[in-house]
Amino acid sequence: MLLQDLAFGGTQRQALELAARLDRSRFAPEFWMLTDVRDFAPKAELAGIPLVWLSPYPKVGVLGLAALWKRLAAERPDILMPLTAVPNIWGRVFGRLRGITAVIGTCRGGGAIKRQHERFLKGLAAHHIVNAEPLAKALVKMGRPQDKITCIANGVDTDHFLPPPDELRPVREVVLCPARFCEDKDHETLIRGFEYTVARRPRAELWLMGDGPLRTRVRTLAARSPVRGNIRTFPPAADPRPFFQQASAVVLSSVREGLPNVILEAMSMGIPVAATAVGGIPDVVEPERTGLLCPPRNPQALGENLARVLGDEALRRSFGETARQRAVERFSMETMVRRHEAVFERVLERGCEESGRCPEPRRGE
C-alpha cells in the first residue's frame, strides 16, 4: 500500500484497519510512504505492519519519487495499491513502467477523480476500488469498464466506537466537525451556518477538529465570526472518541465527498449527523431516521438542521439509536476486509494469467 504519509486522516485510518485485519496466511501487507509524517506510525507498528519511509521530508519531492522507482525494481510487490492523489498518480505510472500488472487504483474522495487525473491514468490500473457509488459511476462515464471497478464501503469498528453510557452522555450542546481543513469540506459554509444555529440555540458550541492546507483560513473565519465565542478549534487526534462522547451532533458541510469515515464513526457511537447530500453521504445517512441532510453551500439549511437536532432530545436519541443499528448491520470492518481480499485475489490471478508470472509462496504457506 503506497501512501503519501501516515498523518491523521480518514484514508490513512482505513488503510491501517484494512492492513491490520488482512489474512496473514495469504497476504503480507506493507506501507510505503512518500513523505515522513508519522502520526499513525505507532499504531501501524503495533499491528505488525512493516513501514518504509521513502523520504525524510514532510512533502513529496524528487527524493521520495526516486526512492519509489528504485524500490519497485528491488522489491517488485505482487500487488501495488496506491491511496490518495499523489500516490495514485506516480504509483500507477512507475508501477506500470516496472512491469507490475496488479496495480489497483483507488478513488476515495469526491475530488479524487479530477486530482488523480483519472481521465488520463485510469487505464494504468488493473482494477479500481472506490468507496462510494457516485465515484464508480463517474469512472464508468469516462470509459472505465464496469467489471474493472469495485465499490467497497468504508468499515467502522463498532466494538471500538461504542455509544457512551447514559451517565456520560453530553450535557452541553456541542456540534463536532472532525474534518480536514481543505476546500472539499467547505468550513466557510459551516461557520456561516452556525450563526443560524446560535440564533435559535444560544448555548450551542461548534468544535472544529482537524488540520490541513486551509488551517489558517478556517481559524481566521472562526475568529471573525459574530459567534466566535461559541467556536473552538482542536488539532486532529489519534483517538477521536473523547470528542465524539461530548458531541450532541456531528456535522459535515462538504461540497465533495466519497464516504466519510467520521460519519460512520459518529453513527457507531449513536450520534445523529447533520450533513450535506453529496457523494456517498446519502447512501449512509438516512434523512429523518439517522440524521438530516441539506444541499451543499446552503448555510441557512445546515444551521437550521443543527438547531433542530440540538433542540429535541427525543429526536437525538431516536436518530442515534437507529444510526448505531445501521452501522452495525451494514458497515462492519469484517465485510470491508473480506471484500478487499476478494479483489486482491482476483486481480492477482488475472495478472498471473496475463504476464505468466505468479508470486512465490511465502514462508509458512
Contact 57, 39 (CB under 8 A): no
Separation between Cα atoms, residue 82 and residue 125, nearest integer Å: 10
What is the rounded average pLDDT of the residues 269-290?
96
Q: Give the mean pLDDT of the chain.
A: 95
Residue type, 41: A
CATH class assigned to 166-330: alpha beta
Residue ranges of domains in the chain: 2-155+332-355, 166-330
The pLDDT score that the predictor gives to residue 19 is 98
Q: How far is CA 143 from the centre of its chain?
A: 25
Go through the chain and tell me how many residues it has.
Answer: 365
Give the DSSP H/E element, type plus range, for residue 293.
Answer: strand 291-294
* 3-state class percentages of the chain: helix first, strand second, coil last, to nearest 5: 45, 15, 40
Which pLDDT tens digit goes with each residue over 16-54? 999 999 999 999 999 999 999 999 999 999 999 999 999
Question: Could you tell me the pLDDT band of residue 167, with boundaries at 50, 70 and 90?
Answer: confident
User: Which DSSP letter does residue 109 get?
Assistant: S
Q: To 5 degrees, how large is the angle CA 337–CA 273–CA 289? A: 90
Question: Could you tell me the pLDDT band of residue 358, with boundaries at 50, 70 and 90?
Answer: low
Instruction: Give the residues across from 287 on adjacent strands.
Output: 291
The pLDDT score that the predictor gives to residue 238 is 86
Separation between Cα atoms, residue 300 and residue 361, nearest integer Å: 59
What is the rounded average pLDDT of the residues 171-186?
96
Separation between Cα atoms, residue 306 and residue 200, nearest integer Å: 10
The pLDDT score that the predictor gives to residue 365 is 46
The pLDDT score that the predictor gives to residue 267 is 98
- Sign of torsion over alpha carbons 15, 17, 20, 26: negative
Q: Is the pLDDT of residue 284 over 60?
A: yes
Question: Could you tell me the pLDDT band of residue 363, with boundaries at 50, 70 and 90?
Answer: very low
Listing DSSP states for 44-102 in one string gives HHHTT--EEES-SSSS--HHHHHHHHHHHHHH--S-B-B-SHHHHHHHHHHHHHTT---
- Which residue did the predictor score with more confidence, 106 or 237? 106
Share above pLDDT 70 across residues of the chain, in percent, rounded to a whole number: 96
Separation between Cα atoms, residue 62 and residue 56, nearest integer Å: 12
The pLDDT score that the predictor gives to residue 33 is 98
The CATH H-level (homologous superfamily) assignment of domain 2-155+332-355 is Glycogen Phosphorylase B; (3.40.50.2000)
Q: What are phi and psi of 232, to 5 degrees?
A: -130, 150
What is the rounded average pLDDT of the residues 261-271?
97
The pLDDT score that the predictor gives to residue 169 is 80
Q: What are phi and psi of 110, to 5 degrees?
A: -60, -30
Give the DSSP H/E element, type plus range, for residue 150.
Answer: strand 149-151
Separation between Cα atoms, residue 280 and residue 341, nearest integer Å: 22
Q: What are the grid coordinates assigned to 155, written together?
A: 468499515
Cα–Cα nearest to 236, from 182, 183, 279: 182
Listing DSSP states for 184-250 in one string gives GG-HHHHHHHHHHHHHH-TT-EEEEE--STTHHHHHHHHHHSTTGGGEEEE---S--HHHHHT-SEE
Contact 351, 295 (CB under 8 A): no
Which pLDDT tens digit goes with each residue over 76-122? 999 999 999 999 999 999 999 999 999 999 999 888 999 999 999 99
Cα–Cα nearest to 255, from 225, 227, 233, 281: 281
Cα–Cα nearest to 294, from 315, 273, 310, 314: 273
What is the rounded average pLDDT of the residues 277-306?
97
Which pLDDT tens digit goes with each residue over 293-314? 999 999 999 999 999 999 999 9
- Which residue did the predictor score with more confidence, 170 or 333? 333
Residue 157, classified by CB atoms within 10 Å of its CB into exposed (0-12), middle (13-18) or buried (19+), is middle
Cα–Cα nearest to 260, from 245, 249, 250, 247: 250
Longest dimension (CA), the chain: 68
Q: What is the pTM of this model?
A: 0.87
Q: Is the pLDDT of residue 351 over 90?
A: no
